[in-house]
Structure 1
């Protein structure tokens, strides 16, 4: 292992500076100011020992429930559903968004899965859409008739997205499905690429139920969900045994007129995962909200669930509105807890007796899992938090024995399990107790922390930031081919925010011993002597400026798994000089990190040859500065497989032609702007990318953690948009 080329370049540069400034003369020297930090090859001479600032176990959630990885030797490609065939516990099936269903033995030692069916060539699962192979339902008599129903988006229509519900049969006694056996029940052309719904299931009455979204865009612009002559925004019920391709059940509310006969219930925005209680037959659903409220609904025959008149229990369009005839949610939550609900199952297993009879649901963005429970005093339903995870929960699955699996869209399967006896939480309640600061003076970092800074920072309402990295001794950073850094288990990142001379908040981002990440906010006291751990989000006034402390759920909305959780820790962001206070030197951070052995693999070239993001308000050319700003402020959500809505991929490395915004029509509403585009070349006022940056309301982007406009950053992006004459 050698670092001589990089070391030599730095030493020669330093010698050159000395040779130019080291001339000897007997003439009087003018007075000089005290010397400041000196340029040097390296900011630190050696890696500091870190015995105190290490990631703790997650704070104890006294719910008696946690998640446990199952089938650990298996991984899947964008899994959307897991299920078993009726009364057959021997196999497990996983539906993959791209168009295939994988099957494997129900054995923890299972090391491989085989293909049950592959219709990838028929499935349009294009980037930037919510499309794909979305649902699967075994016929209740699968053991004898070997029929399975699939719900997917195929090709066709003006948007080339067509919802398809089809029947398939097995020609090998249920071992696989024959793709050539497809019998299409019905199709529905989608007007927009989002809100496809797509879940299907057989009810206890033997009929096939289908959940469809409102057709997409934002705010249901065509009022599909309330239009009884449209199938969008509805639950449908079909008799797939009584006719070809299906018959209408006799009790469907519009079987004899007044609306489409397939409709069972209406007024839904995008029912994403729902199920029947195997004990009572009740239909429970999660319905994804617009921009404020996510809701759990108990669906009944002929029920109207309010969208777009209401979002949750609040008026949406019109305002004010009448709630007459509308069914409010059983429970709901706001976007301080998550961004997109995933419905689950009423628990009927045996492993967790306290959960029996409770509907389990989760949030795709925050990874939180809840159950609906009843207040024993009032009988009112209320949410009970079961677990906080870092999963993008795309679905749940109910096994034959009633136990519930959790599907992480990123690859893996988990199971809800009891935790056993709960121990008191030892998570530090004061910043001075974390081991990451000097306990005698919490304004100073502990000796084991390494300072760092980034080229293009995330906007935080103008706050000054101090950033530190704490690695476990002996552990190193893996640098990916894309320049992103993977930090080892036990890592802690510490960031302190100050307004003026006042410290307001210190956030710790930890990679816990189980490998997951969690974020924790500490609020500084008025005396500036210590900071206290906050259990939830909080707003307060600091001088003449409002400040928002994010909840732990909101932390993982930005620190996404798709972005690697540790935002900002990447080669191009840290390729810059830093003043190291402990040595009073100025040095490049990459050179210093490499010199003290933080990287698994030493740098192969000089820092000048490494990628570098420009500072958005610096002197580099306009487009790279704007793209660096969007990378830092938008790309953690807006990138493939992350939580952002729409097609945008704002990573700096993505060519503009592939970012997916130039002259693209908006999918989440036009904000009342005529002929709006995500990015309209030469016209910031018609570009929602710009409009959302300037907004301070519900349409603001990024949506979390800021209460003030970044006028400097927005002006850079506006100038770039203005400079564009056409799309590449």
Structure 2
């Protein structure tokens, strides 16, 4: 009497199995959209929903667009995942020489991280490639994520420091100091990674000392004009008014051996130094103008005596002594890690060996004379 029911039971089991398989194949629900917070200072990075640590990876939310720079700013060999996001219906206005004019609602992020060595104990000193939009958290150490948020009253800077578990980053308005060990070709060295406070962020991002105008540093045509990024921003609805890439300014990649030594060195100084050293910046009293388009004269440092003598000169007479890099203040200050001497004075506690060698080679190739 039980046999007639066996096919029914088997069919029911098969139907349940098919239903479970269908459930397993169904896509996960989309993440909640990015959360633009118009007021206050949220304590957790996750409140913004820009990116998240999920299943062992750091992943970007939908419509959060990564970008990279031709020549990145040096920050103790840290790598950086750079992103931009804007609400629907608004976009940035293209400007050829200055930072793009971003609308209210824009969120720019920069996540600082290091590749780990094979043992997972030390971080690696290597070039910032800036091309990773999904990070394997077993292979990297997240340090901090800095946000620039364009609110109705202007830009606000917010530094978030990642916890040891790499699950969340917490706001640190007063900054942070994190001891690390770095594996370099010369061996392992201990150093302190410094997260800036919000006031230090402003000191670099103030483009005009008189008006206190605050602007992003990297999102300028000459820095991001590579790999079709201008077109990608336009296609995403994030940029309007941009010319074709071939007609937009473009800095050299400082690592590119095919570019001239002058183009590479000028690009390096432009991104690392020019945000302060220009005729409107916070270091305008030095009369050093290190933007890419500044003329190659005394304002660039050629045969230029220092504004004030002292430890910062290293006993050298000129910013750039053509043909004599080791008698030039530029090289001395770039090599230094001493507070009050080193340049740039913020954003690093180590010396960028490769960057110093680039500037040494550039000065060494100069034919002028200060005599």
- TM bucket (normalised to shorter chain) is 0.7 to 0.9
- Of 665, 680, 690 in structure 1, the residue corresponding to residue 331 of structure 2 is 690
- Of 487, 494, 497 in structure 1, the residue corresponding to residue 109 of structure 2 is 494
**Aligned pair in 2 of structure 1 residues 510, 674: CA closer, same or farther (>3 Å)?**
same
| 1:432 pairs with 2:46 | yes
Any idea what SS the aligned residue of 1:485 has? coil
**What is the CA–CA distance in structure 2 between the aligned matches of 1:726 and 1:446, rounded to whole Å?**
52
**What is the CA–CA distance in structure 2 between the aligned matches of 1:477 and 1:484, rounded to whole Å?**
10
**What is the CA–CA distance in structure 2 between the aligned matches of 1:632 and 1:651, rounded to whole Å?**
8
Native 8 Å contact 2:33 2:61 kept in 1: no
Deviation at 1:627, TM superposition (A): 0.3
Native 8 Å contact 1:504 1:524 kept in 2: yes
The number of equivalent residue pairs is 299
Any idea what SS the aligned residue of 2:157 has? strand
- Of 515, 521, 526 in structure 1, the residue corresponding to residue 164 of structure 2 is 526
Deviation at 1:52, TM superposition (A): 2.1
Task: Report the counterpart of residue 36 of structure 2 in structure 1.
Answer: 54
The C-alpha deviation readout for 1:576-622, integer Å capped at 9, x for no partner, is 12xxxxxxxxxx2112223333323242xx32232211111112010
Report the structure number with the largest CA radius of gyration. Answer: 1
- Of 638, 659, 670 in structure 1, the residue corresponding to residue 277 of structure 2 is 638
Native 8 Å contact 2:43 2:170 kept in 1: yes
| 1:479 pairs with 2:94 | yes
**What is the CA–CA distance in structure 2 between the aligned matches of 1:55 and 1:627, rounded to whole Å?**
38
Native 8 Å contact 1:432 1:439 kept in 2: no
Deviation at 1:449, TM superposition (A): 0.8
* Unaligned runs of at least 5 residues, structure 1: 1-48, 60-426, 578-587
Deviation at 1:552, TM superposition (A): 0.3
Task: Report the counterpart of residue 548 of structure 1 in structure 2.
Answer: 194
Deviation at 1:560, TM superposition (A): 1.4
What is the TM-score when the length of structure 2 is the normalising length? 0.75
Deviation at 1:53, TM superposition (A): 4.1
**Aligned pair in 2 of structure 1 residues 480, 609: CA closer, same or farther (>3 Å)?**
closer
* Unaligned runs of at least 5 residues, structure 2: 1-30, 116-139, 182-189
The structure showing larger relative contact order (alpha-carbon pairs under 8 Å, at least 6 residues apart) is 2
The C-alpha deviation readout for 1:619-655, integer Å capped at 9, x for no partner, is 2010010000000000000011210140011110112
Structure with greater helix share of residues: 2
Native 8 Å contact 1:467 1:494 kept in 2: yes
Native 8 Å contact 2:96 2:221 kept in 1: no
What is the TM-score when the length of structure 1 is the normalising length? 0.39
Task: Report the counterpart of residue 175 of structure 2 in structure 1.
Answer: 537
Task: Report the counterpart of residue 409 of structure 1 in structure 2.
Answer: none
**Aligned pair in 2 of structure 1 residues 455, 529: CA closer, same or farther (>3 Å)?**
same
Structure with greater strand share of residues: 1
547-556 vs 665-674, which moves further = 665-674
**Aligned pair in 2 of structure 1 residues 680, 595: CA closer, same or farther (>3 Å)?**
same
Task: Report the counterpart of residue 681 of structure 1 in structure 2.
Answer: 322
Deviation at 1:462, TM superposition (A): 0.6
Native 8 Å contact 1:508 1:519 kept in 2: yes
Give the root-mean-square deviation of aligned CA atoms.
2.3
